Amino acid sequence: MKKRILFLLITILSLNCYSQISFQKGYYIDNTNQKINCLIKNIDWKNNPTEFEYKLSENSESKKTTIKTIKEFGIDNISKYVRSSVNIDRSSENIKNLSNDKNPIFKKEDLFLKVLVEGKATLYQYIDRNLRRYFYNNENSNIEQLIFKSYITENNIGTNNRFRQQLFVDLKCPNFKTSKIENIEYKKNSLVRFFTEYNKCHNSELINFESEQKGDFFNLTIRPRLNSSSLTIQNSVSNSRDTDFENKIGFGFGLEAEFILPFNKNKWAIAIEPTYQSFKSQKTTNVNNISGGVLIANVDYSSVEVPVGLRHYFYLNNNSKIFINASYIFDLSSKSSIEFTRNDGSNLNSLEIETRNNLAMGIGYKQNDRYSLEIRYQTNREILGNYLSWNSEYKTLSIIFGYSLF
């Protein structure tokens, strides 16, 4: 079963599922200022692109073009990128790499800047891995970087917040108080709010691309499940206590919090899912080394598992998608044990269950962002971790049903 699931996961990963990243209506403007309506491959760029793929029609072949030949491109009602030759400061914000100089170190570069808010004053964003910079212009002025830089002082870390002065000087509004400018942060949401309010103050037509992109980035899902679990234990000193509790069918219940990562078409998510599970079994064995000749082993194991996992979605169409996930499971067992007794009920000894963490892999299907079904395999979990002479193998295969509350 483990090999079959692993094969299935690899197969799904290799699939180019229809419409997981789609060509959507858009346009581009080339160096001759000619505007071409087309279909652009929307991969929801996490980093600002230097190229993109497009089609002139649904049935035509896709082509690639680069920043060298394109002045502007956009996807209708979703995003817009403008090429600009700008001075950019690439100083690191990593504490280990901070300099003693508070002033930005500018370098001229041709970049595709992402438009966040467009109007009388326009806000742009540039992201390159850990580098995040914001740019702006007011009406027909040149695009400039909003300056923010961290640097090392004698005893501390200082920040150059010159961007506030830039906004105060260049983007005035009678309704803006000094405190408003002082409280602006060098963060997307804070800057988007400010530029939106500025354009409204001047009755300027504006497009807030960020408002178009707001989505559901959190899901809470109830997840009952059917578990097929098995447990074997071995003693390295005496094999008379080795026990195979065989496979048992049980039920579990989980509550999953899923956090959708806001890039790459919302295909990645982090999931945390506290789950109650239990395993009970009894095994009777005929032996010669105890009175009565019968050894009875009872296991009563219950715990709260807390899988923390990374999930990836493959879109089939607008209403359905396949997902795979990998999780690291923290297991919190309580008052669980394995008891050995004679045939007359007298106790021989007991083993307190103390578990170790393990891994899980799953593959599933989700419909209408509401209903889901997943098959999940857990790797071996050691449940007798406090005993040097004991080893155990606890494995679970689950069929998980899901209903998203929101």
Residue 19 has pLDDT above 70, yes or no: no
User: Residue ranges per domain, the chain?
Assistant: 77-213, 218-404
Query: Phi, psi (5° rounding) for residue 147?
Result: -90, 125
Q: pLDDT for 24-59, tens place per residue?
A: 999 999 999 999 999 999 888 889 999 999 999 999
What's the pTM value of the predicted model, to 2 decimals? 0.61
Residue 97 has pLDDT above 60, yes or no: yes
Residue 10 has pLDDT above 80, yes or no: no
pLDDT band at 142 (very low <50, low <70, confident <90, very high): very high
- Across the range 369-374, mean pLDDT stands at 94
Q: pLDDT for 175-187, tens place per residue?
A: 898 889 999 999 9
Give CA–CA dist 406/403, Å, rounded: 9
* Helix ranges restricted to H, 205-328: 209-213
Q: pLDDT for 283-322, tens place per residue?
A: 998 887 777 788 899 999 999 999 999 999 998 876 889 9
- Across the range 116-123, mean pLDDT stands at 96
Q: Which of 304, 293, 299 is nearest to 390 (CA)?
A: 299
Give CA–CA dist 151/161, Å, rounded: 11
Q: Is 262 helix (H, G, I), strand (E, B) or coil?
A: coil
Q: Is 345 helix (H, G, I), strand (E, B) or coil?
A: coil
pLDDT band at 211 (very low <50, low <70, confident <90, very high): low
Q: pLDDT for 332-353, tens place per residue?
A: 988 899 998 988 878 888 899 9
Given CATH 2.40.160, say whether it is the number of domain 218-404.
Answer: yes
Residue 4 has pLDDT above 70, yes or no: no
pLDDT on residue 16: 43
Contact call for residues 136 and 116 (beta carbons, < 8 A): no
The angle at the Cα of 32, spanning 29 to 35, to the nearest 5 degrees, equals 30
pLDDT on residue 294: 87
More confident residue, 329 or 292: 329
**Which residues are CB-contacts of 31 (< 8 A; sequence separation ≥ 6)?**
69, 70, 71
Q: Which of 141, 142, 143 is nearest to 126 (CA)?
A: 143
Residue 5 has pLDDT above 80, yes or no: no
The angle at the Cα of 194, spanning 188 to 199, to the nearest 5 degrees, equals 125
Q: Which amino acid is at 44?
A: D
Please state, for a pLDDT cut of 90, what percent of the chain lies above it. 69
